[in-house]
Structures are given as structure tokens and as C-alpha cells.
A and B are shown apart, each in its own frame.
Chain A
């Protein structure tokens, strides 16, 4: 398994925006770009999402985009759902997939503890070694 891939390549900014629109519609929330975060996030995403990178770097791109808050509402699940699909594509065993998805999701959501961040880095190092 290659540890460096274009993990986020298929997730265009159009898809990110549409995902937020769907999530906002489900909760009758306003789907609208923020004045201070949208353009910077779009620029970051479009400059990075096609790049070949390590999985922890892809997770960090999603985390940074979440933190920049490109939309008025539901930024968290917009980006956590993307990383969940990236982890799903690894086709890990169910229990390992559960743990890795939780760790990645916590990091992107901005709630990961230092121990969780460390555990995720260690998993990514396993990928580097081809052990996962």
C-alpha cells in the first residue's frame, strides 16, 4: 500500500461546496460562504487537493479547511465526511478501520487529544512501511 497518494484528488471544491449545501439543507440551515474564510479555504483546497501527500497531510488539509470555516454552518461534517471516505478506501479490517476513522475524524473535527494525534501518526508510519 502506497503511503503517498493524491488522497483528496477526487474531492473538487464544487463537491465540497455541494456537500455543505446538502448538510445545511438537511437542517434548514443557511448555506452561505463566510466573508473571512471562504476564499482562503477555497484557495488552500484547490492548491492542495490534487497533490500527492501522506495520509496525515491529507487529514491536516481537511482540519485546516474546517478551521478556516469557509461556510456559515456545518463546516465540521463537511470535511470530516471527506476524510471518512478517504479512510474507507483503505479497505482496512473493520476494527482497525473504526479506530483509524475515529482518529482521523477527531483530528479534522479539532477535538483530537495529543495521544490520538500520536496514534494516527504512528498508523501513517505503518502505511509508510507497508505494514497496514
Chain B
């Protein structure tokens, strides 16, 4: 497989967004195809920081 990526694709906003999303979650995955081999995938928890931030943004500001 040729690893070179079409430069037009690299300029595609959807692909740029996809790359950013995939790279942001990269450390939650293992490289090996565990799901294919075992029928059970792997996904490391990302913790509760994002949820905390969402909840705190929803809280009404105290007077």
C-alpha cells in the first residue's frame, strides 16, 4: 500500500477534522487488532475531565 496521501485530500476540511479527531484519541487505543483476534476491543477511559468541564459550564453562576 502506498502510504503517500493525495495532497487534495490533505486540504479537505473533513479529512483535516478526521485526522485531528483520530490523533486526539490515539492514546486510548492499542495498535494491535485485538477486536478481530479476540472479539473484544480495547478503549482506555479518557477520564471525567471533559464531562466535568461540560457540567461546570452548565451550572448557573453564583451571585
Which A residues have a C-beta under 8 Å from some C-beta of B? 10-11, 14-15, 17-19, 21-27, 29, 31-34, 37, 66-69, 71-78, 80-82, 84-85, 94-95, 98, 105-106, 109-111
Contacts and interface: CB of A to CB of B under 8 A. Distances in A.
Contact of B26 (A15, A23, A69, A72): A23
Given A98-B51, A106-B43, A75 B33 contact: yes
A68 B41 CA distance: 12
B26 A75 contact: no
Nearest to A72: B33
What range describes how many residues of B lie at the interface?
35 or more
**Nearest 8 CB-CB pairings of A with B:** A110-B41, A69-B36, A81-B22, A69-B33, A110-B35, A73-B31, A109-B43, A81-B21
B33 A73 contact: yes
Contacts of A94: 54, 57-58
Contact of B41 (A14, A37, A111): A111
Interface string B8-42: 01001011011101110110111111111001111
Nearest to B9: A18
Contacts of B34: 110
B32 A73 contact: yes
A19 B41 contact: no
B26 A27 contact: yes
A76 B32 CA distance: 9
A78 B22 contact: yes
B63 interface: no
B31 A74 contact: yes
Contact of A84 (B9, B25, B42, B43): B25
